[in-house]
A and B are shown apart, each in its own frame.
Chain A
Amino acid sequence: MKKKSSYLIFIISIICLLLSIFLFLYREKDASVVGVGDSGGNKEVVEKEDAIYIPGYEALSLVANSTSQSISLNNPTENDCYFVISLYLEDKTLLWKSDYISPGNNSEPLELTQELKEGTYSAILKYSCFSFDQKKSPLNGGEIKLKLIVS
């Protein structure tokens, strides 16, 4: 009986050891991303991917003769920064500006500064990006040239 218990404890110990080795290796693999290599052929290790994901659109649909719109714009969950999104007409007239939008959240529905008549307008959606901390330091940003289809 005693011999049987010892055998069982030994088996459980082996399983625990294998499990901890597996978890350790898995964690190491997850923490680093190997780059495609530099011009000299050496492999480089990038500690984390410092990237900003910017949603782009060819066109946005808006309701004519109304400042209140139903659409909202989002900051993707993959991001590690705040977005402040502004919508301008091509002549730089500001139509809408969001508050700080944290990753994974949407803006409030668009409330335009002016009503637009039916038609198609050239516009710019400006993404200003800020560090996701108290400082809110400015980061690289993006601008999307698009059409506003007002109907």
Chain B
Amino acid sequence: MLSLLEVLGQGLVNLVRSLHPRRVREFGRRMPLYGPLALRAVKRRPLRHLLVGLCLAAGVVVYLTLSAASHGSAVDVAGRTEALRLPADVLAFGLGGEGARPPEDLAWAAPVGGFEVFDRWEALTSAGRRWVVGLAPDSRLWPAGPDGPSPGPGEALVPRRLAEAAGLEPGDLLQVGVETPLGFSGEAFVVAGLFEAHDDLLAESVLVGLEDSLVLRGRLGAGPTGPAGPRPDAVAVWVRSGSTLRQTLRRLESYFPEAALWWEGLPAQVSYRAVGRLLSPARVVKATVLMLAGLGVFNVMLLSLLQRKTQLGVLKALGAEDDEVFHLLFLEGGLVAAGGLVLGLVGGWAAVRALDVSSELPLMLTPSAAAGAVVLAVACFYMASWLPATLCRRATPVQLMAGRRLYLDPHSTCAQCGRCGGF
């Protein structure tokens, strides 16, 4: 196993070396010789190469059709759920932990659309163990919005359901504090009002002014996140309109790797997961189809090499360098793959058009799907061509001309073991 890994590792190194600009330039200078050679090799076996091209083309057609179908469906779902945007268009991220550095992270978060800092800590209240959320006076998280009335110093807003459960009414006193070895320590807040909570973030929280929250938490040494002190430890990030949810989530996760996303059960999350579920099987099918196409290309490339061992050996005997023969085989494969790719792109476009007319599937073919097909087809051809070309590069002229079995490492490990039987 180690030997195989060594061989594959060495193969990778050789592959990178063979792509060195100097070597590629040298091969480019010999293109007038190897180009026609590769073209003739392809033309002499038209049926075989046509089948390879068709195999790759079929892969590209299926990829494009599935891409168009899945993208169209995703857009369709997104369109239907547009009215169900996030409440108050907020994605709340709690920073938490020792590594939280709000000022820097917030500066980076700004391109997302906007943010605000708030304080959040777990307290013991006369209505049970609850979150205390400290908001700035102009916070967009206040139930009445940034322009609505907010509680003054020593006042708190309580969710209606929580107030009903605890028997609280406006004007009542709500004790907020922590449990210490000497007993409860805290302050009393006047319930200034009740509000309807629309999401999990606020449903179990008592809302107070940011200053009150910071001072009280600092004095009590409370807070689930980080050391005590007058420091906000949470941030709310606003989604900029027009930015897609997936981009936004990826961006936020890169800004705040330790943060938690609070959006469980929100309509946006539901539609996002639904689209994800729709796309996942399509991705698997697309990958499988292209892998099968790659296997087809691989088999024919290998067959092509094994049937032409003598010819390639003669080429080497006459003075063709190992890298040149390697590139020649790649060129042959590339010609076939290019043909298959063009055929696949045209066929894919036609298939999508035909399905669009004849079915009610929401199809949408995008440039990115076409680009993805090109990239995957090239990768597929590259992986399929690598082994045959490497086998040929490593074999000596005598091994090739005598039609001997080829091993990845023709000298020491592979050839002497020989248990796999070689190629």
Partners in one complex: no
Instruction: Give the interface of B toward A (CB within 8 A).
Output: none
Instruction: Give the interface of A toward B (CB within 8 A).
Output: none
